[in-house]
């Protein structure tokens, strides 16, 4: 019997599953659906090409084989679809594959009573980051000198973004190099610290699969009792095989996770510093937001925004029919969303006017957390954008007076 915290290598025994690593994720989903542990699976499948991820709602277990593999240029966030189209899983048990940001979004919606967690089974995917379809195509053409349509598969491995071509060759470029040149992973992914989604029932990945099983097995970490039960059931049914992880593999996985988390924190500092602080930041936010066309996409996409009556539609606050909207439109969002922002990047990625919404929100979330929560020794609160100063007093923000 497995238990929370257990780790192993696992691989499918189903020859029809061509998984990213060991195919354990597809096997577990299939097992859960075939045995009526869930009524449906919500996952991601390839659309017209590898840069076109599409949500897949599946009730026939046979259809899961076609979803196997990872789409790193897939930036979908699945939980809001459960709220919008599956009635928050009120009357239906759903298994869903989740990156760290998906898992956090699920809990945020559950906290707001929009998703019934009793009916959700989450299989987490470790996540080094994702690239937007547009960036992926542009960078493959310009930096790799390759026609993006000749790429049959992409992966992020050993710090490189690697593309595999139709003719069997491959080419990799270091992520650091790509990001220094302004391409590579999404900016929010560069800031992300949730690399192994232990908020899910099971967390799966390739980090730590070492030795003869490298590339052939999935690294599985059991994260809940529910996860242990489904995993044990699949092993007992003979659907997946397992073995103990190599000691060296465990060490490597731990080290990679630490390095990635440190990189996330470093990128947060770099990107937040670039916004400036205090009045300088406020001015920058106002300037950027002045491009807003009030299309509501950021609200539609955000997993924190789920109110029936949105205050941005109240004429007492936001003047109707005016584009760009008065800054109060954005202030309402900052006040309502920033404290819970999970840095999923949706509000920025989908904004037709390229307003760095997620960056603003994540900066505020991190700084509010620092101010309200455990204040780190050495943190200079007077440098916080929430700190009161005379030059900001008429800006419309509520600032905190420092002792
Ligand atoms: P499979 O049996 O191939 O099943 C994979 C499942 O994931 C399928 O159901 C598929 O529909 C679903 N899926 C594919 N793309 C997405 C997506 N974008 N969002 C949600 N679901 C999706 N592992 C690491 O150890 N280190 C990493 O840095 C890392 N980065 C990743 C980045 C992304 C964007 C993704 C999607 C995955 C990443 N993984 C990473 C996880 C790894 O690639 C495999 O998904 C995992 O090891 C499971 O392998 P498998 O063979 O068991 O999965
Ligand atoms: Fe992965 Fe984090 Fe980016 Fe989400 S925000 S896609 S979990 S790196
Ligand atoms: Fe995601 Fe943006 Fe909402 Fe934050 S504010 S949770 S980044 S959509
Ligand atoms: Fe404005 Fe962009 Fe939000 Fe649309 S998505 S309302 S343009 S900030």
3-state SS, residue 221: strand
Please tell me the number of the ligand nearest to residue 108's CA: 3
* C-alpha of residue 194 to centroid of ligand 2, in Å: 7
* CA pair distance 333, 321, nearest whole angstrom: 18
Nearest ligand 4 atom to the CA of 301 is 5
Residue pointed to by tokens 């009792």: 225
Please tell me the number of the ligand nearest to residue 129's CA: 2
pLDDT values of the chain reduced to their tens digit, one per residue, 403 residues: 899 999 999 999 999 999 999 999 999 999 999 999 999 999 999 999 999 999 999 999 999 999 999 999 978 999 999 999 999 999 999 999 999 999 999 999 999 999 999 999 999 999 999 999 999 999 999 999 999 999 999 988 888 999 999 999 999 999 999 999 999 999 999 999 999 999 999 999 999 999 999 999 999 999 999 999 999 999 999 999 999 999 999 999 999 999 999 999 999 999 999 999 889 999 999 999 999 999 999 999 999 998 889 999 999 999 999 999 999 999 999 999 999 999 999 999 999 999 999 999 999 999 888 777 545 556 565 666 556 666 655 555 555 555 4
pLDDT of residue 399: 55
* C-alpha of residue 151 to centroid of ligand 3, in Å: 31
- Same domain for 292 and 175: no
With the most atoms of ligand 2 within 8 angstroms of its CB, the residue from 133, 189, 366 to mutate is: 189
pLDDT of residue 403: 46
Pocket of ligand 4 (CB under 6 A): 292-298, 351-353, 355, 357
CATH code where residue 44 lies: 3.40.640
- Same domain for 287 and 237: no
Please tell me the residue having the least CA distance from ligand 4 atom 8. Answer: 292
The reply to whether 34 falls in a domain is yes
Residue pointed to by tokens 């790193």: 72
pLDDT of residue 397: 52
pLDDT of residue 183: 95
pLDDT of residue 382: 62
- Same domain for 67 and 196: yes
* CA pair distance 312, 319, nearest whole angstrom: 9
User: CA-based angle 288:292:293, to the nearest 5?
Assistant: 160
* C-alpha of residue 293 to centroid of ligand 4, in Å: 6
Please tell me the residue having the least CA distance from ligand 4 atom 1. Answer: 292
CATH code where residue 176 lies: 3.10.450.750
Instruction: Look up the domain containing 296 and give its range.
Output: 276-395
* CA pair distance 239, 229, nearest whole angstrom: 14
pLDDT of residue 381: 59
- Same domain for 283 and 139: no
- Same domain for 100 and 202: yes
What is the DSSP code string of 184-219? SS-HHHHH----S-TTSSEEEESTT--GGGTTTSEE
Residue where a domain stops, chosen among 231, 261, 291: 261
- Same domain for 345 and 285: yes
Asked if residue 278 has its Cβ within 6 Å of ligand 1, the reply is no
Please tell me the residue having the least CA distance from ligand 1 atom 31. Answer: 127
- Same domain for 344 and 307: yes
Strands (E), 13-73: 40-46, 53-58
CA 355 to chain centre: 19
* C-alpha of residue 115 to centroid of ligand 2, in Å: 21
- Same domain for 66 and 20: yes
- Same domain for 234 and 93: yes
**pTM for this prediction:** 0.93
CB-CB contact of 4 with 222 (8 Å): yes
Asked if residue 263 has its Cβ within 6 Å of ligand 2, the reply is no
DSSP lists the bridge partners of residue 215 as: none
Q: Give me the phi and psi of 3, to 5 degrees please.
A: -145, 165
Q: Report the number of distinct structural domains present in the chain.
A: 3
- Structure token digits, residue 67: 């979803």
CB-CB contact of 68 with 125 (8 Å): no
* Contacts for 385 with CB less than 8 Å, ≥ 6 apart: 277, 278, 281, 282, 363, 364, 367
- Number of other CB atoms surrounding residue 286 within 10 Å: 13
**Could you give the strand order of the β-sheet that contains 160-165, starting from the edge strand earlier in sequence?**
151-157, 160-165, 170-174
- Same domain for 220 and 151: no
* C-alpha of residue 158 to centroid of ligand 4, in Å: 36
Dihedral-angle region of residue 159 (phi above 0 means left; psi in -120 to 50 means alpha; beta otherwise): left
* C-alpha of residue 120 to centroid of ligand 2, in Å: 20
Asked if residue 301 has its Cβ within 6 Å of ligand 2, the reply is no
- Same domain for 114 and 168: no
The reply to whether 267 falls in a domain is no
Residue 339 DSSP symbol = G
- Number of other CB atoms surrounding residue 352 within 10 Å: 11
Please tell me the number of the ligand nearest to residue 358's CA: 3
- Structure token digits, residue 39: 């009524």
* C-alpha of residue 210 to centroid of ligand 1, in Å: 18
* C-alpha of residue 99 to centroid of ligand 3, in Å: 15
């Amino acid at each position: 019997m497995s238990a929370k915290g257990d780790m192993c290598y696992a691989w499918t025994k189903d020859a029809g599953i061509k998984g990213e690593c060991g195919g354990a994720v597809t096997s577990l989903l299939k097992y859960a659906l075939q045995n009526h542990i869930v009524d449906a699976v919500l996952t991601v499948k390839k659309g017209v090409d590898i840069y076109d991820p599409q949500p897949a709602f599946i009730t026939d277990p046979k259809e899961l084989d076609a979803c196997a593999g990872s789409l790193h240029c897939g930036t979908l966030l699945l939980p809001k679809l459960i709220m919008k189209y599956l009635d928050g899983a009120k009357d239906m048990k759903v298994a869903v594959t989740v990156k760290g940001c998906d898992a956090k979004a699920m809990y945020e919606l559950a906290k707001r009573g929009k998703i019934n967690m009793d009916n959700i089974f989450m299989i987490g995917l470790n996540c080094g980051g994702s690239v937007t379809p547009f960036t992926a195509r542009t960078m493959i053409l310009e930096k790799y000198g390759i026609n993006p349509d000749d790429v049959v598969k992409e992966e992020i491995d050993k710090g490189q973004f690697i593309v595999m071509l139709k003719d069997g060759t491959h080419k990799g470029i270091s992520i650091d190099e790509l990001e220094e040149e302004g391409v590579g992973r999404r900016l929010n992914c560069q800031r992300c610290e949730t690399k192994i989604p232990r908020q899910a029932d099971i967390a799966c990945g390739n980090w730590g699969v070492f030795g003869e099983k490298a590339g052939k097995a999935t690294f599985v970490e059991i994260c809940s009792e529910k996860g242990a039960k489904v995993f044990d059931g699949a092993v007992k049914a003979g659907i997946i095989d397992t073995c103990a992880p190599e000691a060296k593999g465990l060490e490597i996985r731990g080290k990679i996770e630490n390095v990635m988390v440190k990189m996330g924190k470093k990128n947060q500092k770099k990107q937040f510093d670039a916004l400036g602080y205090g009045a300088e930041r406020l001015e920058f936010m106002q300037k950027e937001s002045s491009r807003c066309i009030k299309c509501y996409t950021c609200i539609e996409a955000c997993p924190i925004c789920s109110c029936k009556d949105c205050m941005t539609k109240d004429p007492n606050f936001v003047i109707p029919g005016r584009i760009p909207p008065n800054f109060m439109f954005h202030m309402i969002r900052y006040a309502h969303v920033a404290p819970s922002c999970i840095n999923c990047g949706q509000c920025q990625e989908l904004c037709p006017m390229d307003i760095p919404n997620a960056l603003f929100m994540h900066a505020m979330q991190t700084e509010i957390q620092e101010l309200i929560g455990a204040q780190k020794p050495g943190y200079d609160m007077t440098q916080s954008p929430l700190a009161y100063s005379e030059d900001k007093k008429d800006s419309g923000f509520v600032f905190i007076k420092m002792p």
